[in-house]
Structure 1
């Protein structure tokens, strides 16, 4: 199942990794472990953030995706189910709409 993983990263300990020059290797290690379909890094509520597209086959995989962020950065993670255009086309909205007129 395709999921959108939104991550809010507090300033510390992220700043410490930036200052000691290890942030690149730390981020590469996490991204290699979670292997997102796509990853973007952005501002969130005035702080650092990331948005990843991941594929979750089973709910038991949630810790594998979230714990690297929790344990490394004390980050907050939110998971949302998302659909691509093809998924929406297969959703059967016409039949659902007819049923609930």
Structure 2
């Protein structure tokens, strides 16, 4: 299932990760695990935030993927199922045939 992982980083912990030069290692760790089709970074609600789109193959993969964000950055994470345009079109075809 394609999901949008939204990662809001605790400011104090993220600041320490930046000054300690560990933030890139944490990000790379998660991106290597998730193998995203897209990853963007910005802000949400005034917090450093990552927006990562990837295929979540199994629910049991969640801890493996996000634990570095929890442990290293005190992050708040959310998963949102998302579709690309091809997925929407396929879903609408199913809807139209019912």
Indicate whether the TM-score tops 0.5: yes
| Aligned match of 1:57 | 57
Aligned length in residues: 96
**Alpha carbons 2:9, 2:73 under 8 Å: kept:** yes
1:94 matched to 2:96? The reply is yes
Unaligned runs of at least 5 residues, structure 1:
97-101
Question: 3-state DSSP class of the match of 2:8?
Answer: strand
Greater Rg by CA = 1
Q: How does 1:1-101 map to 2 (within 5 A)?
A: 1-91=1-91, 92-96=94-98
**Runs of 5+ in structure 2 lacking a partner?**
none
Tell me, in whole angstroms, the C-alpha distance in 1 between the residues paired with 2:95 and 2:56.
24
CA deviations on 1:27-77 (whole Å, 9 max, x unpaired) are 223322322111000101011001000101111111122212111111011
Distance in 2 between residues matched to 1:26 and 1:65, nearest whole Å: 11
The answer on whether the counterparts of 1:3 and 1:81 sit within 8 Å (CA) in structure 2 is yes
TM (normalized to structure 2)?
0.86
Give the distance between the partners of 2:38 and 2:83, measured in 1 at CA.
14
TM-score (norm 1): 0.83
What root-mean-square deviation, in Å, do the aligned CA atoms of Structure 1 and Structure 2 show? 1.5
Instruction: State the secondary structure of the residue aligned to 1:83.
Output: coil
